[in-house]
Chain A
Amino acid sequence: MTAKIVFENVGKTFQARGRTVTALQNINLEVRDGEFLVIVGPSGCGKSTLLDLLGGLSEISSGRILVDGKPVTGPGLDRGIVFQQYALLPWRTAQGNVEFGLEAKGVGRRERAEKAREYLDLVGLSGFHDRYPHELSGGMKQRVAIARSLAFDPDVLLMDEPFAALDAQTRDGLQDELLRIWEKTGKTIVFITHGIEEAVYLGQRVAVLTSRPGRIKEVVDVPIDARSATEDLRSDPQFTHYRHEIWSLLRDEVDRARSEELESSDV
């Protein structure tokens, strides 16, 4: 398979309180076309920054990111982002929110309505098209957000801890649903999380980031086939094996992140 997204020596620095903070350093990573890649790392390691750079929402300090061989220079409809806090427009219905992305693309009114229904159906929200966000549960809001990002048909779906704010049961359900949608649509998905189980459950490959400054520590292949068909994947010995592997990789980083946090708060 060809590389859909290429990170080449990507670095990002911030100015905070007069100091230069290095958030990301020397990120080299390739994401294959149609792949489900999960990026996992300790909190504050710059995972979300990485996604912002890929989404074109903030500027790269060094290196470059290529999508389909072209460098990212700004936001674009070839990449759809799903945020943790849904980012739905509260004055629009579910349908209106899904149409929002289509409006940005310049799709005509009738086609917009059709597409929006189609994608609401895909995420299992048929019959909820006229509900406002405040009438929907957290899980349903995230479904709407996913439908919105899929509807304008981006090649790549970027997901920034999309299920972190949901309760465990809802999260499990949505993970299955996302796998089903991924298999059905063939999108390339870059999924960010701090949950190890979630990473192993979803990712074909899992990239483990170090604590700040964020670097790629290791990319772990998780060759579990037909995830969505496997009953109770989490009890599978394979699953436990990969979970442990990633847990070991992350443990040192989490420890380091914590001691750094304590040091900086001592000052």
Chain B
Amino acid sequence: MSSITDVPVALSERVVPVAGVTASPAPVNPWYRTGARFLTTVFTRIAAIGALALVWQLAPQWETAPGEYLVDPTFLPPLSEVLVAWWDLLISGELWTHTEASLVRSAAGFGLAILIAVPLGLLIGWYSPVANLLNPLLEVFRNTAALAILPVFVLILGLGETSKISIILYGCTWPILLNTVSAVRTVDPLLIKSARSLGLGPVRLFQKVVLPAAVPTIFTGIRLAGAASILILIAAEMVGAKAGLGYLINYAQYNFAVPDMYAGIITISAIGLIVNQLLIVTERRFSTWRTN
């Protein structure tokens, strides 16, 4: 009878020191090769953005005929002008005032949405009759663009902070809620069966199996909501705000301060990128075990 089992096989893949034979060291890449690879990666990452910046810089300065430009610099000033305007806004502290106002709104709406939607989603998902009852309604709400309801919020809650935070809260709630509900409902039934076979009651089953199994999917919802919070924020700030990046962009456009407008747009896209990146990193941290 062969005594082959998978364990010794797995073990034998490790380096076994044999007398008289020294294991050759792992091949080390010379520094210039590692460096070259690093540079290639960096180049690939920034090439497209660099190209965009270059076009943005050159197109408005390219005179096709006397007084005629490839792109009208009145509407699209060269990037350097926009950056100067951005710098001026930064130095004057104006940019920070607007950014702060925006981030506070965004974070408040997003945070409240997490606090409300996660527990609610767990509850709905855990009681499947409730889930079956509410799911169609949730789908209707999710697929109704938050901005379509913005006028309703303004009508009821006025133009102040409450309506802005509320609309962000509203927009962030659905992705979190729906993901949480489906996270709870799609926990591997075998895991539940196996936990039940150990005599676990409903509370401990939820705490030890359902909740940890649901975390990655819940985080996907949170990441989607994070992106939504920035998107909705800007639109909300274009209606009756006195500060915020959406207000800055809109106000600059009214006053024909075109470089300032672009400075606001660049800022908001940078914030969007950073927020998304942070959420992706967080999501990854909570779902390492899901990599199969």
Closest residue on chain A to residue B212 by CB atoms = A91
The residues of B that contact A76 with a CB separation of less than 8 Å are 199
- Give Cα A12 to B197, complex, Å: 19
Number of interface residues of B (CB under 8 A): 28
Q: Is there an interface contact between A104 and B200, defined as CB atoms closer than 8 Å?
A: yes
Q: Is there an interface contact between B6 and A75, defined as CB atoms closer than 8 Å?
A: no
Q: Is there an interface contact between B190 and A83, defined as CB atoms closer than 8 Å?
A: yes
A186 within 8 Å of B (CB atoms): no
List B residues at the A interface (Cβ < 8 Å): 1-7, 10, 190-191, 193-200, 204, 208-209, 212-213, 215, 289-292
**Interface segment, one of A13-21, A59-67, A136-144:** A136-144
Label chain B's interface by main secondary structure.
helix
Q: Is there an interface contact between A231 and B1, defined as CB atoms closer than 8 Å?
A: yes
Q: Is there an interface contact between B196 and A140, defined as CB atoms closer than 8 Å?
A: no
Q: Is there an interface contact between B197 and A75, defined as CB atoms closer than 8 Å?
A: yes
Closest residue on chain B to residue A79 by CB atoms = B197
Give the distance to chain A from B172, nearest Cβ to Cβ, in Å: 26
Most central of B2, B196, B197, B215 by chain A CB within 10 Å? B197
Given the contacts A75-B196, A75-B198, A103-B208, A91 and B5 also touching, CB distance less than 8 Å: no
- Give Cα A83 to B189, complex, Å: 12
A71 within 8 Å of B (CB atoms): no
The residues of B that contact A89 with a CB separation of less than 8 Å are 191, 209, 212-213
Give the distance to chain A from B206, nearest Cβ to Cβ, in Å: 14
The residues of B that contact A103 with a CB separation of less than 8 Å are 208
Q: Which residues 71-109 of A have a CB within 8 angstroms of B?
A: 74-77, 79-81, 83, 85, 87, 89-91, 100-101, 103-104
Q: Is there an interface contact between B197 and A55, defined as CB atoms closer than 8 Å?
A: yes
- Give Cα A234 to B6, complex, Å: 20
Q: Is there an interface contact between B196 and A90, defined as CB atoms closer than 8 Å?
A: no
Give the distance to chain B from A96, nearest Cβ to Cβ, in Å: 10
